[in-house]
Structure 1
Amino acid sequence: MPTLFDPVQAGDLQLANRIVMAPLTRNRSPNAIPKPITATYYEQRASAGLLITEATAISHQGQGYADVPGLYGTAQLDGWKRVTDAVHAKGGKIVVQLWHVGRISHTDLQPDNGKPVAPSAITAKSKTVLIKDGVPSFVETSEPRALDAEELPGIVHAYAVAARNAVETAGFDGVEMHGANGYLLDQFLKSGSNQRTDDYGGSIENRARLLLEATRAVVDAIGGGKTGIRLSPVTPANDAYDADPQPLFDYVVKQLATMNLAYIHVIEGATGGPREIDDRPFDYEALKAAYRQAGGKGAWMVNNGYDKALAETAVKEGDDLVAFGKPFISNPDLVRRLRENAPLNELDKATMYGGGEKGYTDYPALA
């Protein structure tokens, strides 16, 4: 029977254990460039079987929060190369999460202060982060404009270019497609944000089209064995909603099964909230079964509210990887603490977004 601390293969990625550091936005990359302390931050956590970086914009248009990193400029790639070098020196594995926020943005963050883009011109009931004089503040997202169908191949191409640059230039072991939490690919998937009447709206097949096209383009660029994807079937994050998520996501994973991906990363329930949502029931075991029955061989990664006991049960019952989020912020040596049943450091919520080393690289490890 496998344990959390046993090695596992995820596509091309040979992982030392089954504990994953989930992507965690920290807003410490001015001009979208990771700073030297970012290398320290990830290096400190390299004992995880896999590190997934904070969400990283594939283009300026894809940027939705102040001081989050990007993958579309030379200085950004150089900054990430420092990170991957540091993690690899510690024997770790790291993938970058590819992000286009879609409508979850603000005109202040967009090229030429333009409107954010979305499947449909529906403003999200959500907020984003702006930083003025070093102080982060939460503001309402701006009204988006609907993307023209002619623009979508360019976005697909941007995903592929970002993936290739991430692996070949920045030195990442792979990438994770961000198809979750109400961002662009998820906005196209879900009926609450996609009211298009063209080939990218309406039916399940049409709403899934952009996510599948972008993922195939990334697989073509770097290989399926270096590509993962994150999905969140029922989270209400960023005003995400679908009227009938089970058949939608069963269809998505069946299509993904043909791409020989490294892993599928599933957020169970509300991101950072309850694992069960009364008005949004969902059968995650059926989702995994649909993927396996369609021939999907990638590792199955679960996420949301896992502690050691729940994670151990998940692995025993057939999940391959368990992602931990906030515990990794305050516990750089989380793997050791879980192994030894050691107490966890308390999270300083005041330092989660923006700032410098405080609450970022200064959490103590066990002696």
Structure 2
Amino acid sequence: MAADAEILFSPFTLGDLRLPNRIVMAPLTRSRARKGALAPTALNAEYYRQRASAGFIVSEASQISQEGQGYLDTPGVYADAQVEGWRKVTDAVHGEGGLIFIQLWHVGRISNVSLQPSGAAPVSSSAIAAKAQVYDETGFVPTSTPRALETSEIARVVEDYRRAAENARKAGFDGVEIHAANGYLLDQFLRDGVNRRDDEFGGSVENRLRFPLQVVDAVLDVWDRARVGVRVSPVSPFNDIADSAPESVFVPFAEALGARGLAYLHAIEGATGGPRDAAPFDFQKLRKSFSGAYVANNGFTRELAIETLEAGRADLIAFGRPFISNPDLVERLREDAPLNAPDPDTFYGGDAEGYTDYPALSDA
């Protein structure tokens, strides 16, 4: 291993956890939870067990309530069967000496009535439909027009997050990541391209931060701040979302999260799954506005990861799709070995094919 690569594989202290390396497995929706119960299974446990060599894993996004679901067969963390399923996953990861956080998710308007309780309209900050698609029993379908959450309903959703955080503790997770990125519910309150509210949760930046910060505080009622992170995507247009002045929103958000002493800020730099320079944004200003660890995400190669860590532009690097097809990604990066190519046809739904059957280097 070249000397300049050592930083990627050096230990790191995150809050009160000692990570074996600087490589984070990013959350990846795979739509393989048990039908009906939406609970993780033994197959999911094996998938995460195979990838336990990451510095830590962030689980696939997991809805905090049925209302929070936007795609077929994504796991929840609001019912007893789901907690029991997640316990299989955390036990499997811990059995390999790994660490795993759960990502808490409410999709907001990125849903379809077919996935909502009693066929109700999805909820959002405002009643503005997204030009986006979701996946249900029939395949890809357009998102449904949402209704705006009533001011009086905000406390109910905050409580759903708190309860989900409690369930995550019961399931044996090492920590929690709050999903405030990629155009989902919390992002729909943060960004003025969607949030057109005229109550205390809309308008000014301070007001738009209010609901996401209430969610963070609810999770902190359950978890120590050293075990909580937040994911953001300040300029990603994913799921038809935008803001007229993103630095004016996300820098104060990072400052508020830092003031609460959170363990990390996980930032998608650029367009989700797309160009890193999709729009102007000073991610180093964002990083310096936050007092905890900074996890950089989006399109990282081995070389870019090493360069970014050596330059001090991040503390940890999150890899997404490479982890799908390379269960031993850490070892492959360490050895600078070729990576397996992923099969997009098996990303969502299905069984072991394209999920737990990718070969490790040791299989060669």
Distance 1:195 1:162 in 2: 28
8 A contact 1:123–1:141 mirrored in 2: yes
Displacement, 1:155? 0.7
Taking the aligned partners of 1:140 and 1:130, their CA distance within structure 2 comes to: 10
Partner of 2:297: 303
What is the match of residue 234 of structure 2?
233
Q: Does 1:34 align with 2:34?
A: no
Structure 1 counterpart of 2:20, from 16, 21, 32: 16
Q: How does 1:46-57 map to 2 (within 5 A)?
A: 46-57=52-63
Selected match of 1:121 from 108, 117, 127: 127
What does residue 288 of structure 1 align with? Answer: 287
- In the alignment, structure 2 segments of 5+ residues that lack a partner are none
Q: Distance in 2 between matches of 1:273 and 1:170?
A: 34
> In 1, distance between residues paired with 2:325 and 2:258?
35
Aligned to 1:360: 355
Q: Secondary structure at the match of 2:27?
A: coil
Q: Aligned-pair distance for 1:165?
A: 1.2
Structure 1 residue 243 displacement after superposition:
0.4
CA–CA separation in structure 2 for the residues paired with 1:65 and 1:88 = 28
Unaligned runs of at least 5 residues, structure 1: none
Matched residue, 1:102: 108
Query: What SS does the aligned partner of 1:128 have?
Result: strand
Equivalent in the alignment of 2:223: 222
Cα contact 1:11–1:260 (8 A) shared by 2: no
Is the counterpart of residue 3 in structure 1 residue 13 in structure 2?
A: no
Q: What TM-score do the two structures reach when normalised by structure 1?
A: 0.95
Query: Is structure 2 residue 327 aligned with structure 1 residue 323?
Result: no
1:250 matched to 2:251: yes
Letter in 1 for 2:61: A
| 1:289 positional shift | 1.6
C-alpha deviation, 1:12, in angstroms: 2.6
Q: C-alpha separation between the residues in 2 aligned to 1:181 and 1:129?
A: 16
| Cα distance in 1 for residues equivalent to 2:218 and 2:147 | 25
Alignment of 1:84-163 (within 5 A): 84-132=90-138, 137-163=139-165
| Mapped contact 1:264–1:301 kept (Cα < 8 A) | yes
TM-score (norm 2): 0.96
- Alignment partner for residue 341 of structure 2, among 328, 335, 346? 346
Q: Which residue of 1 aligns with 2:64?
A: 58
Displacement of 1:290 in angstroms is 2.0
Note if contact 1:13-1:262 (Cα within 8 Å) is conserved in structure 2. Answer: no
Q: Is the 8 A contact 2:258 2:289 kept in 1?
A: no
Distance 2:340 2:210 in 1: 43
**Given that residues 59 and 158 in structure 1 are in contact (C-alpha distance below 8 angstroms), is that contact kept between their aligned partners in structure 2?**
yes
Q: Distance in 2 between matches of 1:317 and 1:145?
A: 45
The answer to whether the 8 A contact 2:267-2:297 is kept is yes
Alignment root-mean-square deviation, CA: 0.9
Q: Distance in 2 between matches of 1:20 and 1:223?
A: 20
Instruction: Report the residue type matching 1:60 in the other structure.
Output: Q
2:62–2:74 contact (8 Å) kept in structure 1: yes
Once the two structures are TM-superposed, the CA of residue 250 in structure 1 deviates from its matched residue by: 0.7
Asked if structure 2 preserves the Cα contact closer than 8 Å seen for 1:103 and 1:123, the reply is yes
Amino acid at match of 1:206: N
SS in 1 for 2:43: helix
Deviation at residue 131 of structure 1 after TM alignment? 2.5
Q: Does 1:332 align with 2:327?
A: yes
In the comparison of the two structures, how many residue pairs are matched? 355
- What residue is the counterpart of 1:174 in the other structure? 175
Question: Which residue does the alignment assign to 2:167?
Answer: 165
5 Å-filtered alignment, 1:171-210, equals 171-210=172-211
Distance 1:186 1:11 in 2: 25
Amino acid at match of 1:304: N
- Quick check: 1:68 aligned with 2:74? yes
Matches of 2:97 and 2:178 in 1, distance apart? 24
Displacement, 1:13? 2.4
Q: 2-side partners of 1:158 and 1:11: how far apart?
A: 25
**Stretch of structure 1 that moved more, 209-218 or 27-36:** 27-36
Q: Distance in 1 between matches of 2:16 and 2:136?
A: 38
Which amino acid is the alignment partner of residue 16 of structure 1? P
Which whole-Å CA distance do the structure 2 matches of 1:329 and 1:13 have between them?
A: 25
* Per-residue Cα deviation, 1:118-172 (whole angstroms, up to 9, x for no partner): 000000011101124xxxx2110001000001000111111111111101x1000
Partner of 1:314: 308
